[in-house]
Protein backbone atom coordinates (compact mmCIF):
# COMPACT_ATOMS: atom_id res chain seq x y z
CA UNK A 1 0.00 0.00 0.00
CA UNK A 2 1.40 3.38 -1.01
CA UNK A 3 1.97 6.25 1.38
CA UNK A 4 -0.78 8.27 -0.29
CA UNK A 5 -3.27 5.41 0.08
CA UNK A 6 -2.43 5.13 3.79
CA UNK A 7 -2.79 8.89 4.21
CA UNK A 8 -6.19 8.93 2.49
CA UNK A 9 -7.56 6.00 4.51
CA UNK A 10 -6.45 7.62 7.77
CA UNK A 11 -7.87 11.01 6.78
CA UNK A 12 -11.27 9.62 5.79
CA UNK A 13 -11.40 7.22 8.74
CA UNK A 14 -12.43 4.11 6.82
CA UNK A 15 -12.19 0.73 8.57
CA UNK A 16 -11.08 -2.35 6.59
CA UNK A 17 -14.27 -4.10 7.74
CA UNK A 18 -17.33 -3.21 9.80
CA UNK A 19 -20.11 -4.73 11.88
CA UNK A 20 -23.29 -3.15 10.47
CA UNK A 21 -25.28 -3.28 13.72
CA UNK A 22 -22.47 -1.46 15.58
CA UNK A 23 -22.16 1.18 12.85
CA UNK A 24 -25.91 1.79 12.85
CA UNK A 25 -25.89 2.26 16.64
CA UNK A 26 -22.90 4.59 16.53
CA UNK A 27 -24.38 6.76 13.77
CA UNK A 28 -27.85 6.95 15.30
CA UNK A 29 -26.28 8.10 18.59
CA UNK A 30 -24.22 10.65 16.66
CA UNK A 31 -27.39 12.09 15.09
CA UNK A 32 -29.24 12.16 18.42
CA UNK A 33 -26.40 13.94 20.20
CA UNK A 34 -26.15 16.57 17.48
CA UNK A 35 -29.89 17.24 17.41
CA UNK A 36 -29.89 17.68 21.19
CA UNK A 37 -26.87 19.99 21.23
CA UNK A 38 -28.14 22.10 18.33
CA UNK A 39 -31.55 22.73 19.89
CA UNK A 40 -33.30 21.65 16.68
CA UNK A 41 -36.47 19.61 16.43
CA UNK A 42 -35.38 16.97 13.96
CA UNK A 43 -33.74 16.08 10.70
CA UNK A 44 -34.39 16.68 7.00
CA UNK A 45 -33.22 14.15 4.43
CA UNK A 46 -33.72 14.41 0.67
CA UNK A 47 -34.64 10.93 -0.54
CA UNK A 48 -33.47 10.54 -4.13
CA UNK A 49 -34.39 6.90 -4.59
CA UNK A 50 -30.73 5.89 -4.36
CA UNK A 51 -28.83 3.81 -1.82
CA UNK A 52 -27.08 6.55 0.17
CA UNK A 53 -30.14 8.67 0.91
CA UNK A 54 -32.12 5.54 1.79
CA UNK A 55 -29.57 4.52 4.42
CA UNK A 56 -29.39 8.07 5.76
CA UNK A 57 -33.20 8.17 5.97
CA UNK A 58 -33.24 4.95 7.99
CA UNK A 59 -30.66 6.31 10.43
CA UNK A 60 -32.54 9.61 10.77
CA UNK A 61 -35.85 7.90 11.50
CA UNK A 62 -34.29 5.71 14.18
CA UNK A 63 -32.66 8.75 15.77
CA UNK A 64 -35.79 10.92 15.91
CA UNK A 65 -38.00 8.04 17.05
CA UNK A 66 -35.62 7.36 19.93
CA UNK A 67 -35.40 11.04 20.86
CA UNK A 68 -39.20 11.30 20.93
CA UNK A 69 -39.50 8.20 23.10
CA UNK A 70 -36.76 9.33 25.49
CA UNK A 71 -37.89 12.93 25.94
CA UNK A 72 -41.63 12.92 25.37
CA UNK A 73 -41.18 15.67 22.77
CA UNK A 74 -42.01 15.38 19.08
CA UNK A 75 -38.90 15.05 16.91
CA UNK A 76 -39.35 14.88 13.16
CA UNK A 77 -37.59 13.21 10.26
CA UNK A 78 -38.79 15.02 7.15
CA UNK A 79 -38.28 13.12 3.89
CA UNK A 80 -38.10 15.39 0.85
CA UNK A 81 -38.63 14.18 -2.72
CA UNK A 82 -37.16 16.54 -5.34
CA UNK A 83 -37.89 15.51 -8.92
CA UNK A 84 -36.96 17.65 -11.89
CA UNK A 85 -40.18 17.42 -13.88
CA UNK A 86 -40.87 13.68 -14.07
CA UNK A 87 -38.52 11.37 -12.17
CA UNK A 88 -38.56 7.84 -13.59
CA UNK A 89 -37.60 6.15 -10.32
CA UNK A 90 -39.52 8.32 -7.85
CA UNK A 91 -41.44 5.21 -6.79
CA UNK A 92 -38.19 4.10 -5.11
CA UNK A 93 -38.14 7.34 -3.08
CA UNK A 94 -41.64 6.65 -1.84
CA UNK A 95 -40.76 3.00 -1.19
CA UNK A 96 -37.92 4.10 1.10
CA UNK A 97 -40.26 6.42 3.03
CA UNK A 98 -42.76 3.55 3.40
CA UNK A 99 -40.07 1.07 4.48
CA UNK A 100 -39.05 3.34 7.35
CA UNK A 101 -42.59 4.49 8.14
CA UNK A 102 -41.81 8.18 7.64
CA UNK A 103 -44.75 10.19 8.93
CA UNK A 104 -43.59 13.44 7.34
CA UNK A 105 -42.80 13.70 3.61
CA UNK A 106 -43.08 16.43 0.99
CA UNK A 107 -42.47 16.60 -2.75
CA UNK A 108 -40.91 19.77 -4.16
CA UNK A 109 -40.51 19.82 -7.94
CA UNK A 110 -37.44 21.88 -8.89
CA UNK A 111 -38.06 22.09 -12.64
CA UNK A 112 -39.41 25.65 -12.86
CA UNK A 113 -36.74 27.09 -10.55
CA UNK A 114 -33.91 25.35 -12.42
CA UNK A 115 -35.19 26.43 -15.82
CA UNK A 116 -35.53 30.03 -14.67
CA UNK A 117 -31.92 30.06 -13.44
CA UNK A 118 -30.75 28.49 -16.71
CA UNK A 119 -32.64 31.16 -18.68
CA UNK A 120 -31.16 34.01 -16.64
CA UNK A 121 -27.69 32.50 -17.12
CA UNK A 122 -28.23 32.37 -20.87
CA UNK A 123 -29.30 36.04 -20.83
CA UNK A 124 -26.00 36.74 -19.08
CA UNK A 125 -24.12 34.80 -21.76
CA UNK A 126 -25.93 36.82 -24.42
CA UNK A 127 -24.88 40.09 -22.79
CA UNK A 128 -21.28 38.86 -23.16
CA UNK A 129 -21.93 38.08 -26.85
CA UNK A 130 -21.92 34.35 -26.10
CA UNK A 131 -24.87 32.74 -27.84
CA UNK A 132 -25.45 29.28 -26.42
CA UNK A 133 -27.45 27.34 -23.88
CA UNK A 134 -26.20 26.38 -20.44
CA UNK A 135 -24.21 23.14 -20.74
CA UNK A 136 -25.71 19.82 -19.68
CA UNK A 137 -23.19 19.53 -16.83
CA UNK A 138 -23.78 23.15 -15.86
CA UNK A 139 -27.52 22.60 -15.66
CA UNK A 140 -26.91 19.43 -13.66
CA UNK A 141 -24.98 21.47 -11.11
CA UNK A 142 -27.83 23.98 -10.93
CA UNK A 143 -30.20 21.11 -10.12
CA UNK A 144 -27.99 20.04 -7.22
CA UNK A 145 -27.79 23.56 -5.83
CA UNK A 146 -31.50 24.32 -6.21
CA UNK A 147 -32.30 21.13 -4.34
CA UNK A 148 -30.14 22.35 -1.45
CA UNK A 149 -31.78 25.80 -1.48
CA UNK A 150 -35.22 24.21 -1.12
CA UNK A 151 -34.00 21.89 1.63
CA UNK A 152 -32.65 24.81 3.62
CA UNK A 153 -35.79 26.86 3.06
CA UNK A 154 -37.80 24.04 4.65
CA UNK A 155 -35.25 23.31 7.38
CA UNK A 156 -34.95 26.94 8.50
CA UNK A 157 -38.63 27.48 9.19
CA UNK A 158 -39.15 23.97 10.64
CA UNK A 159 -36.00 24.14 12.83
CA UNK A 160 -34.45 21.02 11.30
CA UNK A 161 -30.90 19.98 10.44
CA UNK A 162 -30.15 19.17 6.79
CA UNK A 163 -28.60 15.71 6.57
CA UNK A 164 -26.04 14.93 3.88
CA UNK A 165 -25.51 11.57 2.24
CA UNK A 166 -21.78 12.08 1.64
CA UNK A 167 -19.52 9.14 2.45
CA UNK A 168 -15.84 8.29 2.12
CA UNK A 169 -16.12 6.82 -1.39
CA UNK A 170 -17.51 10.16 -2.60
CA UNK A 171 -15.06 12.23 -0.57
CA UNK A 172 -12.22 10.23 -2.14
CA UNK A 173 -13.10 11.50 -5.61
CA UNK A 174 -14.66 14.85 -4.68
CA UNK A 175 -18.02 13.63 -5.97
CA UNK A 176 -20.15 14.98 -3.16
CA UNK A 177 -21.94 18.01 -1.71
CA UNK A 178 -19.66 20.66 -0.19
CA UNK A 179 -19.46 24.43 0.06
CA UNK A 180 -20.37 25.69 -3.42
CA UNK A 181 -22.69 22.73 -3.93
CA UNK A 182 -24.90 23.97 -1.11
CA UNK A 183 -23.33 22.16 1.86
CA UNK A 184 -25.21 20.27 4.58
CA UNK A 185 -25.34 20.33 8.39
CA UNK A 186 -24.35 16.78 9.29
CA UNK A 187 -23.08 13.68 7.48
CA UNK A 188 -23.84 10.40 9.29
CA UNK A 189 -22.37 8.22 6.52
CA UNK A 190 -18.89 9.74 6.55
CA UNK A 191 -16.08 7.21 7.17
CA UNK A 192 -18.04 4.49 5.35
CA UNK A 193 -17.16 3.43 1.82
CA UNK A 194 -19.83 2.54 -0.73
CA UNK A 195 -19.62 -1.18 0.00
CA UNK A 196 -20.12 -0.51 3.70
CA UNK A 197 -23.08 1.79 3.03
CA UNK A 198 -24.62 -1.15 1.17
CA UNK A 199 -24.00 -3.38 4.21
CA UNK A 200 -25.93 -0.91 6.38
CA UNK A 201 -28.69 -0.84 3.77
CA UNK A 202 -29.06 -4.63 4.00
CA UNK A 203 -29.12 -4.44 7.81
CA UNK A 204 -31.68 -1.61 7.92
CA UNK A 205 -34.05 -3.19 5.38
CA UNK A 206 -33.72 -0.76 2.50
CA UNK A 207 -35.93 -1.93 -0.42
CA UNK A 208 -34.15 -4.34 -2.77
CA UNK A 209 -34.92 -2.21 -5.82
CA UNK A 210 -32.90 0.61 -4.27
CA UNK A 211 -29.97 -1.54 -3.16
CA UNK A 212 -29.53 -3.09 -6.61
CA UNK A 213 -29.71 0.02 -8.82
CA UNK A 214 -26.70 1.72 -10.43
CA UNK A 215 -25.50 4.71 -8.36
CA UNK A 216 -26.36 8.08 -9.92
CA UNK A 217 -26.68 11.69 -8.79
CA UNK A 218 -29.52 12.10 -11.31
CA UNK A 219 -28.04 15.26 -12.79
CA UNK A 220 -28.87 14.41 -16.41
CA UNK A 221 -30.37 11.57 -18.41
CA UNK A 222 -28.21 8.44 -18.31
CA UNK A 223 -25.69 9.87 -15.83
CA UNK A 224 -24.05 7.35 -13.49
CA UNK A 225 -21.35 7.91 -10.87
CA UNK A 226 -19.08 5.17 -12.19
CA UNK A 227 -19.46 6.29 -15.80
CA UNK A 228 -18.65 9.87 -14.92
CA UNK A 229 -15.66 9.02 -12.73
CA UNK A 230 -14.30 6.22 -14.88
CA UNK A 231 -13.73 3.92 -11.90
CA UNK A 232 -15.97 1.36 -10.20
CA UNK A 233 -17.16 1.54 -6.60
CA UNK A 234 -15.67 -1.93 -6.13
CA UNK A 235 -12.20 -0.54 -6.87
CA UNK A 236 -12.98 2.59 -4.87
CA UNK A 237 -14.05 0.55 -1.82
CA UNK A 238 -11.11 -1.84 -2.13
CA UNK A 239 -8.75 1.13 -2.21
CA UNK A 240 -10.27 2.59 0.97
CA UNK A 241 -10.00 -0.80 2.70
CA UNK A 242 -6.26 -0.91 2.00
CA UNK A 243 -6.45 -3.56 -0.70
CA UNK A 244 -4.48 -3.72 -3.92
CA UNK A 245 -6.24 -2.66 -7.11
CA UNK A 246 -5.10 -2.33 -10.71
CA UNK A 247 -2.54 0.41 -11.44
CA UNK A 248 -5.00 2.04 -13.86
CA UNK A 249 -7.77 2.26 -11.25
CA UNK A 250 -5.32 3.50 -8.60
CA UNK A 251 -4.08 6.24 -10.91
CA UNK A 252 -7.62 7.44 -11.67
CA UNK A 253 -8.66 7.44 -8.01
CA UNK A 254 -5.57 9.31 -6.84
CA UNK A 255 -5.86 11.81 -9.68
CA UNK A 256 -9.47 12.54 -8.68
CA UNK A 257 -8.40 12.86 -5.04
CA UNK A 258 -5.62 15.34 -5.71
CA UNK A 259 -7.69 17.35 -8.18
CA UNK A 260 -10.59 17.78 -5.76
CA UNK A 261 -8.75 18.73 -2.58
CA UNK A 262 -10.67 22.02 -2.48
CA UNK A 263 -13.88 20.10 -1.80
CA UNK A 264 -12.48 18.48 1.35
CA UNK A 265 -10.91 21.64 2.79
CA UNK A 266 -12.44 24.67 4.54
CA UNK A 267 -12.98 27.81 2.48
CA UNK A 268 -9.55 29.43 2.16
CA UNK A 269 -8.77 32.98 3.15
CA UNK A 270 -5.79 35.20 3.70
Residue numbers annotated as active site: 52, 170
Instruction: Report how far residue 165's alpha carbon sits from residue 182's, in angstroms, rounded to the nearest whole number.
Output: 13
**If DSSP codes are grouped into helix, strand and coil, which group holds residue 36?**
helix
Of 233, 175, 192, 173, the C-alpha closest to 16 is: 192
Q: Enumerate the β-bridge partners of residue 107.
A: 81
Nearest Cα to Cα of residue 56 among 80, 36, 83, 39: 80
Sequential DSSP letters for 186-249: B-TTTT--HHHHHHHHHHHT--HHHHTSPP---SSTT--HHHHHTS-HHHHHHHHTT----HHH
Write the DSSP symbol of residue 91: H
Q: Which of 155-184 are b and which e, b meaning 16 or more Cβ less than 10 Å from the residue's Cβ? A: beeeebbbbbbbbbbbbbbbbbbbeebbeb
Three-state SS for 79?
Answer: strand
Question: Considering only CA atoms, which of 76, 123, 79, 85 is closest in space to residue 218?
Answer: 85
Amino acid sequence: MSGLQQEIIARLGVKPEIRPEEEVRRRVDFLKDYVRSSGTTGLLIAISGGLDSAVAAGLCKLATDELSAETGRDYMTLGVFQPYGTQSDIADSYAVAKAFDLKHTVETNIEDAVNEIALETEYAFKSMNIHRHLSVAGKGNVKARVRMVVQYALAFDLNLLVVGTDHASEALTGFYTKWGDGAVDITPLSSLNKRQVKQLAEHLGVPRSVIDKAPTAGLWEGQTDEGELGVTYEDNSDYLEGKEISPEAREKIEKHYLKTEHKRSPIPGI
